[in-house]
Structure 1
């Protein structure tokens, strides 16, 4: 049996909180962070709401030389990484740099940086394109910059599977730990609230067109009519148990106990979507019976078809109203590759406090046999949590987290 992989540090940059304590203070009570887009003019677009990280100034958190080199998404990732390493009680040099690595996920890369440099190219000429464009746009740039800033010379990589990518990155980090790495920094981030990113999001036809922040993103609700994008993500420090205990890790949040991933079948094939199989695989990997799961953090797509598929998968595994289900991303919007790592942070904090955060604004449709934690948080003993994520293109991922005594 493989040694346990532990979560020993967390950092978060989300629309409802920069830093773990601010994020949890807002999340636990259901504070809404969705509002009108302010980062560019959306007046001519059909969708005009987002979960923005307001008031973020990278110069207040990062060295001045880094700011012109990096897209907003990388700046958020670096700040979250700083928080995670501080939370884990680690500084560069505390371990052999080749024993530490990084795996992150991103679905849009540094898209705003790329947009701005393309504007310079076409309006001013090639001489005015930043030399940093060569890497600042790339999906792997967050992993690269985190590794440089924190002297991580072990395995590195990036996963690109849309909303499922954050869980896939965590799983890849666990694989590297099982292969011998002592520590992996892992998570996911996206920040595509710019005109180029917005056009890409509109193309899939899944965005809500409501202008009411409290009624725009309503997964599992009778009025569900689309998604609201957000920006940000979370970075976690994973370690093998023996190494964490040996160095005297001051905090152990949870065990990364199980993982499963599948792809949906071809549309029109008549075959069942793959989410249930991903859940079954994660539970099997964790040697966990469904009755042991205390809460499910849902993907919560916010469209009738996708909500139906997810509700059916949850009900098939746990039975009608068989487990509490929550989707705190209704406060922030969907953060792309950053969404599921933020849910993982919420799950381990729910374990710490014994409180399940709410699915805000949603009134559960009678069409779903779910025990949805809606309107208010729910006090509960949370020892085992299941986090779900689904990405465009048919990606399904599931992770089981377990409390550590």
Structure 2
């Protein structure tokens, strides 16, 4: 388990064996604007947002009332009945995404049911909704009404455990806790496990805490937008930026070595070429934010000069100071307006540990279809940022190298470089 960096130095994930390229062979998406990879991708290219007023509870008494909610999800249509009493909504979403990813990868029992196949996911909150319900039972009815499943259903490692059990995966497993940055860190750790001899890794992140208990905790940060207009609540890099909208969902990926994937006839979406993680100094320090160091570390790990990067999937905090800091880091590395930048999470809200993996999935689909999806709800970025923000319509670009960024509350930074495959998958219709 990792809880993030303790200093501002880079971690380039270069420990262990250096043989083998980690490729993504399967993608599973559960997002506020699409349940399933292709449904999400089509909605994203249309600029269709999943941000709306909360429906799972009445948010009228709270200052923030909008969220990216996965509507229409019926867990009984995706999972066996025996799993429903023991799982939080978050875990049900994660299991569904993992099923979709494994199916997409074409991985069968011969790949999964081994001591070499493992799971590494990220989580920012655990099963808050399940925990809230059991606490309500405890205080209103008594301890005999508390489910035995409360012992693990709330736990931030529960997605890793349930995915590994469901798929018979007995290899190396773990969980990363680093808020929004955790999803990228989890994929990086899965890559380490492949370098150490693992045969296949299921990785990524799915989060959800859209319940009164979880909502109160999120509002306490003071970072959520209080706008009731879905088109104006989350506008990263715009001069109207006033906070972000929280969401649920994310993406689960299947990682394999390139040799193993090609040997069984799999068609990779792309490869994980580089990663680095840093931690910002404490408030009041004379040192500045460490996002730039994470970017440079990831590029160095990928042996990738800045000029080779075709697109940046931004962290896009939606807060004036954090947007300015990210834009400054991008200018320092790539120059003003030096690389296309996009934030498709403006259509889903920030998904905490699910946000980074969903951006990875989006970048890989962009490789496949030769397009950069737009940033929603932003007509023009604040000119002070001096970045080339993709807005309005998708930009037709045959991207080959993408940089994905994620920052977590409290100072976590993570950066990951993806490369397109030599023989790309067939574009979707």
TM-score category (smaller protein): over 0.9
Q: Matched residues in 2 for 1:24 and 1:117: separation?
A: 36
Match of 2:155 among 138, 142, 147: 138
* Residue 95 of structure 1: how far off its partner (Å): 4.8
Q: Partner of 1:259: helix, strand, or coil?
A: strand
Verify the 8 A CA contact 2:113 2:168 in the aligned structure 1.
no
Residue 213 (structure 2) aligns with: 196
Deviations 1:266-307 (A, max 9, x none): 111121100000000000000001100000000000001100
Which residue, 302, 305, 325 being the options, matches 1:309?
Answer: 325
1:46-101 CA-partner distances (Å, limit 9, x unpaired):
00000000011101110001011100010000000000000000123445511100
For 1:378 and 1:39, locate their aligned partners in 2 and report how far apart those are by CA, in whole Å.
35
What TM-score do you get using the length of structure 1 for normalisation?
0.99
Of residues 357, 366, 372, the one that matches 2:383 is 366
281-290 vs 94-103, which moves further: 94-103
What number of residue pairs does the alignment pair up?
Answer: 404
CA displacement, residues 192-221 of structure 1 (integer Å, 9 cap, x when unaligned) = 111000000011100000000000001101
CA distance in structure 2 between the aligned counterparts of 1:376 and 1:358, rounded to whole angstroms: 6
Q: Secondary structure at the match of 2:402?
A: strand
Q: Distance in 1 between matches of 2:221 and 2:112?
A: 44
Distance across 2 between alignment mates of 1:98 and 1:154: 4
Using the size of structure 2 for normalisation, the TM-score is: 0.93
Candidates 292, 306, 312, aligned match of 1:276: 292
Within the alignment, does 1:336 sit opposite 2:352 as a pair?
A: yes
> Are the counterparts in 1 of residues 111 and 117 from structure 2 also a CA contact under 8 Å?
no
CA-based RMSD of the aligned residues comes to: 0.8
Deviation at 1:128, TM superposition (A): 0.2
Cα contact 2:112–2:168 (8 A) shared by 1 = no
Aligned match of 1:83 = 100
Say whether residues 1:262 and 2:282 are aligned partners: no
Q: Does 1:23 align with 2:40?
A: yes
Partner Cα separation in structure 1 for residue 341 and residue 27 of structure 2: 23
Matches within 5 A, 1:88-103: 88-103=105-120
Query: 1:102: Cα distance to partner?
Result: 0.3
- 3-state SS of the aligned residue for 1:66? helix
Matches of 1:170 and 1:239, distance apart in 2: 11
> Which 4+ residue blocks in structure 1 deviate beyond 4 angstroms?
none
Asked if structure 1 preserves the Cα contact closer than 8 Å seen for 2:186 and 2:203, the reply is yes
Matches of 1:397 and 1:33, distance apart in 2: 25
**What residue ranges of structure 1 are gaps of 5+ in the alignment?**
none
| Aligned with 1:54 (options 71, 74, 81) | 71
Q: 1:388 aligns with which of 380, 386, 405?
A: 405
